């Protein structure tokens, strides 16, 4: 028989749930507000290209012959159309993006076909999928902690978590990946508790979902295996055998795509990991990654150093809170609980941490460490539940932890508010793309403007500008080391080179007897000499 809590404690729990429901409403609001106002950047451009069913090579072949085209012509390569079907979408992923996995791309294609072609619709699929995080998270807390209160607090933390908001509004698979991680975790704990064939079959299905959502789900599944083996004390028990059979079945279904990755490698897709980073830079980046779980003011690497220094005390406090929550979790819960959370945190965080500090490269990013973020949020939710509602916590301690919880919530709400009003956030690499809205605005001011570029600048930079520019803007893209035919049909002519091309600059200036007036580092206005 459970010990009956004092009446005031019960009332406080009701008020806590009401407050968390309010946070949930706020979090849902932020996931959809201004969803089409943010810069549609490179990663999303390539996701949309995959959704359309066209290949990048086909797009370049059809648009780089020097003819004039408009924004509506580029939409052919960004949205589903009758010329390409779902099979073509899968072919595109296999041939040019094998590392991103096809499930999210296919589901988003169907979503756009049903609800229409627009940035808001395309992004809204990720936002909608992110809402499934809340019931899955609550269910996981019931299975893991046997506590609805921990589940409610976890929902509140995730609802206004700035890192979850960032990826709930991006046309990439991260929202679906989070859901896959949570539902596979629930399925595993439930199968270990029920020990039925059906429950293990359900777990197998969740593994398949995860494997075809994100490549790094394999590390999460491996960590789950470590958890099962450790809990079973490295014995070949019935539970261990059932887990091995389920994992084997799930892995077998993923073998065809492993073969796709082997036969169609895309090493250039991860060229950014080759950047060398010092140990200090790696440590600072990791601190920033985890601090964004609760506080994110949009600080990017291009921001002034003074602004970053001002955030150090807040980052240290957040890291201390995370560390203490893990300590309390390990001290006060059973091995079955704390080990699960630790394996979730370490599933991807630990391998990336080791790679970063051994090879001094940039393997870890916020999007890859989402499983670790989920584990940390579970630990913090447990910490708050014990400190705020336990009858053994002194009054002054409850007040202190209420203040801490309030500051965490305030940090999340402020972060989400700033994010909702920004056109470019740190995840969209503002040091590269922050000039794009200005460029689009300048080009769009002409009566009949033309933007000239070459094939190296087509797929991502030109398409980004097309989403920002006025529909009257026309484009002309030529093959590398070829010159465009400049006519008198346009009132304003601009040369755009996100990827440098001295040949095109010199050719336009000399062959066509024109002057180039530099507007910014990427754009020049072309004026014919008289």
321 and 362 share one domain: yes
- Once rounded to an integer, what is the mean pLDDT over residues 127-147? 96
316 and 237 share one domain: yes
The candidate with the shortest Cα–Cα distance to 315, out of 419, 427, 420, 411, is 411
The candidate with the shortest Cα–Cα distance to 192, out of 207, 181, 182, 202, is 202
> Is 176 among the domain residues?
yes
> Is 370 among the domain residues?
yes
293 and 319 share one domain: yes
383 and 361 share one domain: yes
374 and 469 share one domain: no
Radius of gyration of the chain, Cα coordinates, nearest whole angstrom: 26
> Is 94 among the domain residues?
no
Phi and psi, residue 500, nearest 5°:
-55, 145
The DSSP secondary-structure symbol of 462 reads I
The candidate with the shortest Cα–Cα distance to 295, out of 191, 464, 413, 381, is 413
Domain final position from 390, 408, 428: 428
> Is 92 among the domain residues?
no
pLDDT of residue 515: 87
417 and 509 share one domain: no
Strands of the 523-528 sheet, one edge to the other: 65-70, 474-478, 449-454, 492-496, 523-528, 514-518
**Residues near 98 by Cβ (< 8 Å), separated by ≥ 6?**
257, 260, 261, 264, 265, 266
Q: What whole-number percentage of the chain has pLDDT above 90?
A: 70
Domain final position from 394, 428, 462: 428
Range of 464's domain? 435-528
Please name the residue ranges forming H helices in 172-296.
174-194, 197-211, 217-231, 238-263, 279-291
Q: 59-116 pLDDT, tens per residue? A: 999 999 889 999 999 999 999 988 999 999 999 999 999 999 999 999 999 999 999 9
Confidence at 3, pLDDT banded by 50, 70, 90: very low
340 and 219 share one domain: yes
The total number of structural domains that make up the chain: 2
Confidence at 134, pLDDT banded by 50, 70, 90: very high
Tokens 């999460």 appear where? Answer: 220
Q: 398-435 pLDDT, tens per residue? A: 889 999 999 999 999 999 999 999 999 999 988 889 99
CA distance 528 to 485: 13
Q: How many residues does the chain have?
A: 530
> Is 325 among the domain residues?
yes
> Is 60 among the domain residues?
no
354 and 492 share one domain: no
379 and 278 share one domain: yes
Domain final position from 392, 408, 428: 428
pTM: 0.93
> Is 58 among the domain residues?
no
Q: Are 218 and 211 in contact (CB under 8 A)?
A: yes
> Is 106 among the domain residues?
no
309 and 371 share one domain: yes
509 and 373 share one domain: no
383 and 497 share one domain: no
């Amino acid at each position: 028989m459970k010990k009956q809590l004092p009446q005031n404690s019960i009332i406080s729990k009701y008020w806590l749930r009401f407050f968390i429901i309010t946070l949930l409403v706020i979090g849902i609001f932020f996931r959809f507000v201004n969803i089409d106002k943010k810069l549609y950047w490179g990663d999303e451009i390539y996701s949309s290209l995959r959704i359309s069913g066209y290949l990048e090579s086909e797009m370049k072949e059809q648009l780089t012959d020097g003819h004039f085209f408009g924004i509506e012509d580029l939409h052919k390569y960004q949205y589903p159309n009758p010329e390409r079907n779902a099979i073509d979408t899968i072919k595109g992923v296999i041939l040019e993006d094998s590392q991103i996995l096809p499930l999210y791309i296919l589901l988003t294609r169907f979503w756009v076909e049903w609800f229409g072609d627009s940035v808001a619709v395309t992004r809204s699929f990720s936002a909608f999928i992110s809402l499934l995080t809340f019931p899955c998270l609550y269910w996981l807390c019931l299975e893991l902690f046997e506590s609805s209160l921990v589940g409610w607090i976890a929902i509140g933390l995730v609802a206004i978590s700035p890192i979850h908001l960032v990826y709930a509004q991006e046309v990439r698979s991260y929202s679906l990946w989070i859901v896959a991680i949570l539902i596979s975790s629930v399925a595993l704990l439930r199968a270990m508790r029920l020990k039925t064939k059906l429950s293990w079959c359900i777990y197998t299905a969740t593994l398949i979902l995860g494997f075809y959502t994100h490549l790094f789900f394999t590390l999460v599944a491996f960590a789950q295996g470590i958890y099962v083996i450790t809990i079973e004390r490295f014995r070949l028990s019935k539970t261990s055998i059932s887990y091995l059979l389920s994992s084997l079945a799930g892995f077998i279904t993923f073998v065809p795509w492993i073969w796709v990755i082997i036969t169609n490698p895309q090493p250039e897709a991860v060229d950014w990991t080759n950047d060398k980073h010092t140990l200090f830079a790696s440590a600072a980046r990791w601190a920033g990654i985890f601090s964004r779980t609760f506080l994110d003011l949009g600080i990017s690497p291009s921001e002034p150093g003074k602004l970053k220094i001002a955030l150090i005390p807040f980052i240290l406090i957040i890291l201390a809170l995370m560390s203490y929550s893990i300590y309390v979790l390990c001290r006060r819960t059973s091995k079955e609980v704390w080990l699960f959370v630790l394996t979730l945190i370490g599933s991807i965080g630990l391998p990336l941490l080791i790679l970063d500090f051994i090879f001094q490269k940039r393997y870890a990013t916020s999007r890859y460490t989402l499983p670790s973020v989920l584990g940390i949020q579970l630990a913090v939710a447990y910490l708050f539940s014990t400190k705020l509602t336990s009858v053994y916590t002194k009054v002054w301690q409850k007040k202190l932890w209420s203040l801490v919880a309030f500051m965490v919530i305030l940090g999340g709400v402020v972060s989400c508010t700033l994010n909702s009003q920004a056109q470019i956030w740190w995840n969209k690499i503002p040091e590269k793309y922050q000039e794009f809205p200005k460029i689009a605005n300048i080009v769009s001011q002409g009566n009949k403007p033309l933007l000239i570029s070459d094939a190296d600048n087509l797929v991502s930079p030109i398409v980004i500008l097309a989403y920002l520019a006025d529909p009257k803007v026309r484009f002309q893209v030529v093959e590398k080391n070829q010159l465009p035919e400049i006519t008198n049909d346009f009132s304003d002519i601009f040369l755009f080179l996100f990827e440098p091309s001295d040949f095109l600059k010199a050719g336009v200036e000399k062959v066509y007897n024109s002057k180039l007036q530099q507007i910014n580092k990427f754009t020049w206005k072309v004026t014919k000499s008289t």
